[in-house]
Chain A
């Protein structure tokens, strides 16, 4: 079953310089109990995508077309009250900066109790659940941790507390937006392993946003590659990492210094700039930077299914 299905999503922002087409024809699915990674560089629309799902687009932004179906409901048509019911209960989020998610003036226990305001449990039951949850994210001495304030924890622990809070209500979908970016290598790995474990335990789906290809490769079942507000390629992690079909994916993977097995003094790059989204090029959005450009790239590229579940938005993919 599919937990989240995004179909033909278009999001625009009205800006002083004109309409900014931030997401163009975005489609992908998050199946039940799978971890789907979204990769892409800054400005590719990752955050807009999250905000669109959560119904938190800025006032000048709007969903012009398409649907976001979550457990049978189209989120783009829901009212504010229903959205609020879903957020934190059925869909929850973890962000890059845990301190942004934690209230600095309330103890962790108080915040975790507050999250359970809909549960109808007694105060003691709520606290017991909070404690169990903290233990599950491996916070040492969970009982006394409840009385502590967020600043008393290290960065890695704060992020684990944030994860515990996000998963407290056993949501169907966890959106994790660069949750490990601010952490160091050893903590990053520990957090990924923890997420994997919790995801299986709670049996939720995860939409994992990151620009770190190594983390995506390790954690995710499926990958969605975004560029300039479009999904240029999607498939299982193996399909995309082992047989990338879109030139952008290929170049992006080449750029990762981890892919250079030998030591090199000259690292590959992708020359050029992401186009101004107020003036999208009529054809393929990557054409200006693509080294395999052909005449057909002047027209809107089709979504080509190269294998079961593996789709690339590139005319060249059809020829393969």
Chain B
């Protein structure tokens, strides 16, 4: 089965610094993955790791400097804005800030009908479509008359989802779909996305730094560090036995709501290297508790193992403890 989305060696470059000393930095440094219909793929990483840039590149909101992106077997990274527009009907994006991504001067009904207007779709009656979409996301038709400021965070998210699915897309890219939502509402939004995915056969890319969210919604996941994937594979397996030290550290740093939970944390030096001065060798070596001589000079390949890909010279065995912890026990 061929994928709905094929991302190959994508790089995104930004120019920075004063005019005479322009330097370019790699925001996304060679990312590849495939996505199949009906599948949810999560991209996890700290802020500044390039998650959102990658999402914008896939959606055509950000030019790429190398690599290729194919959607429905058509190369899309070389299309201009005009040719890209019809494709956006099949690929929609949910942006981070739920209220901020809705125009404050438009009513919810108008906001939901906006995609139809933008794409010049006249054979659909907004009077029918708006209530249908509202009910799909679990809101009553009366919401069509409200303004965004009259919505709670969860309701605004639902409106964002309604807009994203309005044109029957094949792919939704959701950037931090639960950021800023209360736990009781987080579940609602995630359940909604899960339901819609099943009912409409959507493929989904979820970008988040909340690992608990990833565990419950994503089939596959990738961990991003300084613009590269360092580990990718089946979500359950990665949670069970992370193989990249960074993944292991992220998972161990996840505070759990149990005061008596034993926490054998993998402590990382807090400072993330600057993209202007990428470390030599393995880019994680400056923070890695398992660092070896080889890591400082030789960059590991992102190799395909049996079930997942890892970029590490010596991937962790299940239950591995950092060297200093091992000594203490």
Q: In chain A, residues 188-222, which have Cβ atoms closer than 8 Å to a Cβ of chain B?
A: 188-190, 192, 211-218
B187, B194, B260, B265 pick with most chain A CB within 10 angstroms: B187
> Complex formed: what's the CA distance from A266 to B256 in Å?
19
Q: Is the CB of A186 within 8 A of B250?
A: yes
Contact with A along B212-249 (1 / 0, CB 8 A): 11011100000000000000000110000000000001
- Contact residues of A: prevailing secondary structure: helix
Chain A nearest Cβ from B20, distance in angstroms: 20
Q: In chain A, residues 122-170, which have Cβ atoms closer than 8 Å to a Cβ of chain B?
A: 138, 140, 154-157
Chain A nearest Cβ from B289, distance in angstroms: 12
Question: Is A15 at the interface (CB under 8 A from chain B)?
Answer: no
Q: Is the CB of B183 within 8 A of A255?
A: yes
Q: Is the CB of A214 within 8 A of B187?
A: no
Kindly report which residue of chain B lies nearest to residue A238, judged by CB atoms: B259
Q: In chain A, residues 230-288, which have Cβ atoms closer than 8 Å to a Cβ of chain B?
A: 237-238, 241-242, 251-253, 255-260, 263-270, 273
Q: Which of B184, B190, B217 contacts A41 (CB 8 A)?
A: B184
Q: Is the CB of B255 within 8 A of A215?
A: yes
Chain B nearest Cβ from A138, distance in angstroms: 7
Q: Is the CB of B272 within 8 A of A269?
A: no
Question: Is A296 at the interface (CB under 8 A from chain B)?
Answer: no
With contacts A255-B184, A266-B194, A267-B216 taken as known, whether A189 is within 8 angstroms of B255 at the C-beta atoms is yes
B236 CB contacts on chain A under 8 angstroms: 263
With contacts A185-B209, A267-B191 taken as known, whether A214 is within 8 angstroms of B257 at the C-beta atoms is yes
A71 CB contacts on chain B under 8 angstroms: none
A42, A154, A186, A218 pick with most chain B CB within 10 angstroms: A186
With contacts A184-B47, A189-B265 taken as known, whether A267 is within 8 angstroms of B271 at the C-beta atoms is no
With contacts A138-B270, A189-B265 taken as known, whether A257 is within 8 angstroms of B187 at the C-beta atoms is yes
A257 CB contacts on chain B under 8 angstroms: 183, 186-187, 190, 212-213, 215-216
Question: Is B167 at the interface (CB under 8 A from chain A)?
Answer: no
Kindly report which residue of chain A lies nearest to residue B197, judged by CB atoms: A265
A237 CB contacts on chain B under 8 angstroms: 259
Q: Which of A188, A216, A266 contacts B253 (CB 8 A)?
A: A188
Q: Which of A42, A190, A216 contacts B270 (CB 8 A)?
A: A190
Q: Which of B153, B184, B194, B209 contacts A269 (CB 8 A)?
A: B184
Q: Is the CB of B250 within 8 A of A256?
A: no
Question: Is A187 at the interface (CB under 8 A from chain B)?
Answer: yes
Q: Is the CB of A241 within 8 A of B272?
A: no
Q: Is the CB of B182 within 8 A of A211?
A: yes
Chain A contributes a number of interface residues (CB within 8 A of B) equal to 46
Q: Is the CB of B257 within 8 A of A154?
A: no
Q: In chain A, residues 292-309, which have Cβ atoms closer than 8 Å to a Cβ of chain B?
A: none
> Complex formed: what's the CA distance from A215 to B261 in Å?
12
A186 CB contacts on chain B under 8 angstroms: 46, 249-250, 253, 268, 270
With contacts A186-B250, A188-B253, A265-B216 taken as known, whether A218 is within 8 angstroms of B259 at the C-beta atoms is yes
> Complex formed: what's the CA distance from A182 to B22 in Å?
30
A256 CB contacts on chain B under 8 angstroms: 183, 212, 257
Question: Is B294 at the interface (CB under 8 A from chain A)?
Answer: no
B211 CB contacts on chain A under 8 angstroms: 185
With contacts A252-B184, A269-B185 taken as known, whether A212 is within 8 angstroms of B255 at the C-beta atoms is yes
> Complex formed: what's the CA distance from A261 to B270 in Å?
28
Q: Which of A138, A241, A264, A269 contacts B216 (CB 8 A)?
A: A264
A238 CB contacts on chain B under 8 angstroms: 259-260
Chain A nearest Cβ from B288, distance in angstroms: 13
A263 CB contacts on chain B under 8 angstroms: 215-216, 235-236
Q: In chain B, residues 152-190, which have Cβ atoms closer than 8 Å to a Cβ of chain A?
A: 152-153, 182-188, 190
**Chain A to chain B: the 4 pairs with minimum beta-carbon distance, closest first:** A214-B255, A267-B187, A41-B182, A213-B257
Can you list 11 A-B contacts (CB < 8 A)?
Answer: A185-B254, A186-B250, A187-B46, A187-B270, A217-B256, A217-B258, A252-B184, A256-B257, A257-B190, A263-B215, A263-B216
Give me the interface of B with A, judged by CB distance under 8 Å. 46-48, 152-153, 182-188, 190-191, 194, 209, 211-213, 215-217, 235-236, 249-250, 253-261, 263, 265, 267-268, 270-272
* Known A186-B268, A211-B182; 5 more pairs at CB < 8 Å: A41-B182, A186-B249, A213-B183, A217-B257, A242-B260
